[in-house]
Structure 1
Amino acid sequence: MSSIEAAKPQKEVSPLLKLVLELGPLMVFFFANSRGEWLAGHFPALAELGGPIFIATGLFMAATAIALAVSWVLTRTLPMMPLISGIVVFVFGALTLWLQNDTFIKMKPTIVNTLFGTILLGGLLFGKSLLGYVFHSAFKLDEAGWRKLTLRWGLFFLVLAVLNEVVWRSFTTDFWVAFKVWGTMPITILFTLAQMPLIMKHSLDQENAE
């Protein structure tokens, strides 16, 4: 019985629901920051957290926990990248609320993107295209394709880390929150689409993939 269960394919979440689970916490963060005073007035418990950015941080943590829980319930597994990002959200979010210092939550994207970029590029130094372990179920690429894609994503994550540092240190908190939602996500989508020619060039047919 156990061997049969082990052979069962992993449940997949629909692309639309996956997008909601990934973008939902960010949208909550943006809304809570822009409507922080309104939320504090209607929900006194939230006012105890502090100003709008702190209310947004608390709700962002809650929304992230819900998104991870829903993902677990539906698939009985947690994707590595959202899990790592969630852990950083909880740690830096807790520090933000405890110390009443929004620097911690602003540095969260820097930490996460630097971590992902370092892991991917570090893996290449040891001859491992780690991106293949993450997206092997979505794409079947040859070794050269995985190496190139891993290198590009590793560098892209580091660029996002630098970009986040520039934005939060140079602009207002409201601008940073807006950029986090309406800037970073479109940039990431455009970058992902730009990789399609590489993916198509190095894709394996089903027979060769097996």
Structure 2
Amino acid sequence: MAERQIKPWLKTALELGPPLLFFLAYMKFQDAQVTIAGTEYDGFIIVTAAFVPLLLASIAVLWGLTRKISRIQVFTAVLVVVFGALTVWFNDERFFKMKTTLVYGFFAIVLGIGLLRGQSWLQFVMGDLLPMREEGWLILTRRLAGAFALMALANELVWRTQSTEFWVTFETFGLPVFLFAVFMFQARLIERFSLSETEDDAGDAG
């Protein structure tokens, strides 16, 4: 089924809205305490419990509007549900913090496996959006695999050594800004290995 086009601002709001709302909700309710069935839950657990259905709802709306969900979104949603549930069930915020390490670590490992096979699995996901020669894809994949590995290590270091408030801010803004900067610095690489329309058409014909 072909992807339906929606306004860019709406797509961005659906993708970035839940993390931003998580951040705002935590800043407001971080000192809250709720007792349910004799168990006391702090603000982080409360906000996490609300975040999981919010994320699933935003993905459902995005799918309903576009009829397309990326593999990355599906994988991330699964981890959010699993580790969000573990966080609430065991009343332990460490599970949700580990989720970010696993997401970026998984991306780094998957891209690394492809590179060991001499392949760019990133090209498989993004090739239609970014026509580029195979050599360029391999270079870009190596750089992003390294970036994802660094992000996974950084998340581990931050959640284990810093306050929850610092981690929430770091996870909401620090990691995405870093990843955005990494992509921006690839402009020269993309320009260097970009396929011309003639080369792209020849590849499609082959």
Asked if Structure 1 and Structure 2 have the same fold, meaning a TM-score greater than 0.5 normalized by the shorter chain, the answer is yes
Secondary structure at the counterpart of residue 127 of structure 1: coil
Q: How many residue pairs end up in the alignment?
A: 199
Cα separation, partners in 2 of 1:53 and 1:37, compared to 1, 3 Å = closer
Alignment of structure 1 residues 19-168 onto 2, 5 Å: 19-36=12-29, 50-168=41-159
Over the matched positions of the two proteins, sequence identity in percent amounts to 34
* Matches of 1:171 and 1:163, distance apart in 2: 11
**Unaligned stretches of 5+ in structure 1?**
1-5
Maintained 8 Å contact 2:18/2:54:
yes
TM-score, normalised on structure 1? 0.87
* Matches of 1:180 and 1:129, distance apart in 2: 27
> Deviation at 1:12?
3.9
Maintained 8 Å contact 2:29/2:43:
yes
Amino acid corresponding to residue 68 of structure 2 in structure 1:
T
> Deviation at 1:39?
7.7
Maintained 8 Å contact 1:12/1:75:
yes
After TM superposition, where is structure 1 displaced by more than 3 Å over at least 4 residues in a row? 12-15, 37-41
Q: Spell out, residue by residue over 1:99-151, the C-alpha distance to the aligned partner (whole angstroms, 9 max, x if none).
A: 00000000010000000110011111112211112112221000001111111
Residues 1:18 and 2:8 are matched in the alignment: no
* Matches of 2:168 and 2:8, distance apart in 1: 25
> Deviation at 1:183?
1.1
RMSD: 2.1
Amino acid corresponding to residue 71 of structure 1 in structure 2:
L
TM-score, normalised on structure 2? 0.89
Maintained 8 Å contact 1:32/1:55:
no
Secondary structure at the counterpart of residue 128 of structure 1: coil
* Matches of 1:205 and 1:157, distance apart in 2: 29
Maintained 8 Å contact 2:108/2:148:
yes
**Unaligned stretches of 5+ in structure 2?**
202-206
Secondary structure at the counterpart of residue 41 of structure 2: coil
Maintained 8 Å contact 1:32/1:56:
yes
Alignment of structure 1 residues 166-177 onto 2, 5 Å: 166-177=157-168
Cα separation, partners in 2 of 1:14 and 1:205, compared to 1, 3 Å = farther
Amino acid corresponding to residue 133 of structure 1 in structure 2:
F
